[in-house]
Amino acid sequence: MIIAHISDTHIALDTDDADQRIRDFESTIVDINALDPAPDVIVHTGDIVHNGRADEYAQAVATLAKARAPVYVMVGNKDDRGNLLKAFAGCGYLGANSEFVDYAVEDFPVRLVMLDTLNPSSNKGDFCSKRVARLKEMIDAETTKPIAVFTHHPPFEVPVGPEPHHFDSREAMADLTDTLQSSGRVIAVFCGHVHRFAHGNIGDIAASVVTAISTTLRKGEYPAEADARPLYHLHRFDPKRGFATETRIVGLRS
Which residues touch 240 (CB under 8 Å, ≥6 apart)?
none
Minimal distance, residue 74 CB to Fe ion, in Å: 12
End-to-end CA distance of the chain: 20
Choice between 13 and 132, CB closer to Fe ion? 13
Q: Which residue is nearest to Fe ion (CB)?
A: 47
Minimal distance, residue 53 CB to Fe ion, in Å: 16
- Nearest to 9, CA basis, from 54, 63, 55: 63
Element (H, E) at 237: strand 231-238
- The number of angstroms, rounded, from the C-alpha of 20 to the middle of its chain's C-alpha atoms is 21
Minimal distance, residue 77 CB to Fe ion, in Å: 7
Measure the CA–CA gap between 158 and 221, rounded to whole angstroms. 16
Which x/- pattern over 207-236 shows residues binding Fe ion (rule: CB under 5 A)? ------------------------------
Lay out the sheet containing 231-238: strands in order across: 71-73, 41-44, 2-6, 231-238, 242-249
Nearest 5°: phi and psi at 87? -65, -35
Q: Is 73 helix (H, G, I), strand (E, B) or coil?
A: strand
Binding residues for Fe ion, rule CB under 5 A, total: 2
Q: Give me the long-range contacts of 61-64 (CB less than 8 A, separation at least 24).
A: 61/87, 61/88, 63/11, 63/22, 63/25, 63/26, 63/29, 64/29
CB 161 within 8 A of CB 219: yes
Minimal distance, residue 238 CB to Fe ion, in Å: 30
Choice between 118 and 147, CB closer to Fe ion? 118
Minimal distance, residue 14 CB to Fe ion, in Å: 18
Choices 4-12, 63-71, 165-173, 202-210 (CB under 5 A): range interacting with Fe ion: 4-12
Minimal distance, residue 47 CB to Fe ion, in Å: 3
Identify the residue among 3, 4, 6, 8 touching Fe ion (CB under 5 A).
8
Give Rg (Cα) of the chain: 17
Q: Does 56 engage in binding with Fe ion (CB under 5 A)?
A: no
Choice between 110 and 125, CB closer to Fe ion? 125
Choice between 15 and 33, CB closer to Fe ion? 15
Q: Please state whether 63 falls in left (phi above 0), alpha (psi between -120 and 50) or beta.
A: alpha
Choices 8-16, 19-27, 120-128, 143-151 (CB under 5 A): range interacting with Fe ion: 8-16
Minimal distance, residue 108 CB to Fe ion, in Å: 26
Identify the residue among 9, 42, 43, 47 touching Fe ion (CB under 5 A).
47
Contacting positions for Fe ion (CB under 5 A): 8, 47
